[in-house]
Amino acid sequence: MCFNGAMVVFTPDDEPYLGRQSVYQFDTIIQLFVEEQLRIAVLTRHGRLSPLQEAAGELVPSASSIALSIREFVRQGYLLSAAILKRPLFERVATLSYLIEHPDAVNLWRDGWPHGSRPSLKERIRAMHNASGERTAGRPPPTEATIRQVLDEMNSLVHGDPVAALHGAVLMDDGRAGYTISKDVRSPNRADEVCFFATMMLVVLLARSTQLFPPDEDQPKQ
């Protein structure tokens, strides 16, 4: 094992991946996303919401909290923990996208997806493809192989199999490989991957939120 990095608390001025394009893009979308959620919060408190809007009012804040947790983990160099949080973030974004594409399923979601009613993650991923605008842009949906690769990586991270251990592998001072038990401040590519993924999730959430709560209407249309 390798104890990588001093036990210090980084700030926005000295965080290890400061200056990375991925971190900058993540911070930019966080700013836009938070501003939009502050606008929507007024509607959720003073407007009459549809069941679909109520579902979004529960899913989006929790997804936002997870995304901000990922950002803080990246700031502190806890890249493995940040990567593990990709799965719960992904689940919430995919679920919201699915509910928007299938509003008749909101009651089933509200009831906790009774046995046999929960849509597969593959189905929800396809709904995310529609949400991202790729369908209208003429881009093909993700292939089965691509979906399987994404799911396998996330499952690996959550369950801690040998492949997941590679996400904590670092190069030690003597040039040998080891595993960090704390911060990882030497893996910019790993930080990039996590930040780009979380940015993409927030982009989809931002688009879906605006779709459900249009800025020019007090009570959005379904």
| Residue 9 resides in a domain | no
**Residues 154, 138 contacting (CB under 8 angstroms):** no
- Tell me the C-alpha to C-alpha distance, in Å, between residue 182 and each of 9, 21, 53: 12, 24, 40
Answer whether residue 89 shows pLDDT above 70: yes
Residue 63's alpha-carbon distances to 19, 55, 141, 204, in angstroms, are: 25, 12, 23, 11
Domain contains 54: yes
Tell me whether residue 1 is in a domain.
Answer: no
Q: Checking DSSP bridges between strand 169-171 and strand 177-179, what pairing results, if any?
A: antiparallel
pLDDT tens for each residue of 40-58: 998 888 778 999 999 999 9
**146-162 per-position pLDDT tens digit:** 778 888 888 888 888 87
- For 165-176, b/e burial (b = at least 16 CB within 10 A) is eebbebeeeeee
Total domains in the fold of the chain: 1
Q: Residue 13 falls within a domain, yes or no?
A: no
pLDDT value at residue 166: 74
In a domain? residue 156: yes
Q: Is position 10 within any domain?
A: no
Mean pLDDT over the full length of the chain: 86
% pLDDT > 90, the chain: 58
pLDDT at position 129 over 90: no
2 occurs within a structural domain: no
Q: Please determine, for residue 220, whether its predicted confidence score (pLDDT) is greater than 50.
A: no
What is the domain range of residue 102? 21-112+120-212
Judged against a pLDDT cut of 80, whether residue 90 lies above it is answered with yes
Query: Does any domain span residue 100?
Result: yes
